[in-house]
Amino acid sequence: MRGKKVKSGDIIQIPLPKYGGFTYAQYIDLIKLNSQSKYPSLMIFFNIVSMKPLSSKELLLDSLDLILCPHLVGGVQPVINRGEWTIVDNNLISDKKYSVPEYKFSSPSSMIEDDVTAQWFCVSNCDILTKRLVAYSQVRHLETLGAVGAALISTKLAMAFIKEKGANIKDYFELEDFYEKVFYWQVLNIPAYYKQSKEMQGKAILAQP
């Protein structure tokens, strides 16, 4: 389905650089859910790696956990147009899989690593107007607010799967590029999504009274 127009619910096959094989994700059109959304798309990343392409019948998505927290992703259509990603099916799954998570951001903003001395905020529904001041310990497990380029996210996915199998990410990536350093820090310091408690997944930890 090279070049096909991506739409909400599409299941997408993503090749994994360095690691090899393929993983699968789902595209959600956020503007369809909220016309006021500042971000166009959310992607859900399943905890699955296959060394060969899988058909839609071989993917039992409702039974799969998520390897990463759902990410805001930009530039999805261009990578599909180039044939780098492949749409394999369209299948809206349960709401719990594609609810919009909370995100964190800091002031001043962090670069490669989170600056625990900065002021930290939590944002709901990807809306900066909902920001609330929090302790870093409440949001350290959340992803940072902002869209990741579709051409880059496969690197973060590969790193996450390398970590999951107990291998050394540095044996696969030289970490020469800025975004590789950022992803490396995030993958090492944010637990795989399916390993987080239900109370933590995509949510700030409530402050103690």
Scanning 89-173, the segments in alpha helix (DSSP H) are 95-98, 136-139, 150-164
Task: Let me know if residue 202 belongs to a domain.
Answer: no
Domain interval for residue 40: 10-91+99-195
Task: Let me know if residue 75 belongs to a domain.
Answer: yes
pLDDT for 2 equals: 56
pTM for the full predicted model: 0.92
Tell me the C-alpha distance between 69 and 76, whole Å: 17
pLDDT for 60 equals: 82
pLDDT for 35 equals: 62
Task: Let me know if residue 209 belongs to a domain.
Answer: no
Task: Let me know if residue 203 belongs to a domain.
Answer: no
Question: For residue 84, what are the CA distances in angstroms to 12, 76, 87, 149?
Answer: 10, 10, 10, 13
Task: Let me know if residue 204 belongs to a domain.
Answer: no
Element (DSSP H or E) covering residue 45 = strand 41-46
The average pLDDT across 165-193 equals 97
pLDDT for 197 equals: 94
Question: What does the pLDDT look like over 130-178, one tens digit per residue?
Answer: 999 999 999 999 999 999 999 999 999 999 999 999 999 999 999 999 9
The average pLDDT across 92-98 equals 57
The 10 Å Cβ neighbour count of residue 18 is: 14
Residue 96 pLDDT greater than 60, yes or no: no
> How many structural domains are present in the chain?
1
Share of the chain above pLDDT 70, in %: 92
- Hey, is 24 helix, strand or coil? strand
